[in-house]
Amino acid sequence: MRLRVAGAVMLAAAAYYVYLPLPSGVSEPWKLMLLDSLFRSFMQASDIAHALGFCHRVHLLNRVVSWVEVVEARSSVTVHVTDSTLGGVPTRVFQPKEGRKLKRGVIYFHGGGWALASGKMRSYDLLCRKMSEDLDAVIMSVDYRLAPDAVFPDQYHDALAASRAFLSTEVLQRYSIDPERVCVSGDSAGGNLAAAAAQEFGSDESLEVKFKVQALIYPVLQALDFYTPSYQQNQAVPILYRPYMARFWLQYLGADAALEPLLLANNHSSLDQPAIGAVTRSRLNWTALLPAERRKHYQPVVREKGSPSVVSTVPGLTDVRASPLLAEQGVLGKTPKAYVMTCEFDVLRDDGLMYARRLQDAGVDVTSDHYDDGFHGCMVFANLPLMSSVGRRSMDGFIRWLDRNL
């Protein structure tokens, strides 16, 4: 009897920890709850280890992720897989064994808040294998340096170095890649790096080969407004909670973690901040850039007075290389045809939607692919054991767009 009672109590405690009220429209909520409970457990354990001085929280998280997810480079019947370098940056290469003589080419940057994950993770390995098979394409998945050991602009420089090498005649010829059919892509923080690379190389007139398309998967594109409608609506929706995103930004920019409350209050972008002018504010003015169905009833949070010293202390907050949404219209207009995926239940939804709108206003051909039941990170959960319906649909939609446009 006591064992039964103890078991019931433990089961109830586990259910209490796993259960989380979620919006009614989110895809397969119980799977998301389970995923979130695992992620929260790892985050809390890493916070405890960090507080006790055992190791940095990010180092522990990456050790756990590597132990669970990282897989060897194993070739299959259809795809040859090797670990190599691209512009001096570690890269996993996926090459179709059959198909056309000249292949399409995609350089891909993984997500993880510029601090976590790897292109060698099982989820990214499976994604790139499927892309290689379905598109008859050479996929290069880049392992750029990670925070806290590397901070901005290190990750950005790695993305540029790998992209420049990818577009070089030597690499294109070595892997039989068609120079007219090359793409830069990435998800979340990787989408940020992909957008930044597309801007840099779109404006570089010295390049003989340029990207034909850019494909951005729920990208993070700005750090000045943590009160967009999607940040307000989804602040407590897993797996990317609003405070997590502020923490990732501060780690990426090499800033003091104690600034997190200021970012979450929008104190860093107050009107008394001399480094943020009207033109910059217009580039992330969601009241003008978002359609009414996304703005809903939410109101902007703009502080009259805040903490004007934050931007001078952390200049990366307004650096367009870190925040591609802040780019000039002329720079955006030189970037290639774009695909921008967004998810309704994602704090970063409006970053992507505003970027798509600004690209369109600059004359770029844009496909905005929105998933009404999607959540942040859903596309990398397109396979077992936590395969989600929206994950599979979003992956298929992404690859289908590449097949039609690359």
Active site residues: 188, 346, 376
Residue 237 CA to residue 397 CA, distance in Å, equals 23
Q: Within 13 A of 216's CA, how many CA atoms are on the CB side?
A: 35
Q: Is 342:311 a contact under the CB 8 Å cutoff?
A: no
Q: Cα dist. 229→282, 299, 348, 354 in Å?
A: 16, 8, 10, 12
Torsion of the alpha carbons at 170, 175, 181 and 184, rounded to the nearest 10: -80
How wide is the angle at C-alpha 355 spanned by C-alphas 305 and 164, nearest 5°?
115
Beta pairing, strands 89-96 & 137-142: antiparallel
Q: Cα dist. 315→237, 254, 255, 268, 285 in Å?
A: 29, 10, 10, 11, 20
Residue 73 CA to residue 81 CA, distance in Å, equals 6
What's the gap between Cα 21 and its chain centre?
25
Closest C-alpha among 319, 357, 351 to residue 338: 357
> In b/e form, how buried is each residue of 184-209, taking b as 16+ CB within 10 angstroms?
bbbbbbbbbbbbbbbbbbbbeeeeeb
Residue 197 CA to residue 214 CA, distance in Å, equals 9
- Whole-angstrom Cα Rg for the chain: 21
Residue 151 CA to residue 254 CA, distance in Å, equals 5
* CB atoms closer than 10 angstroms to residue 285: 14
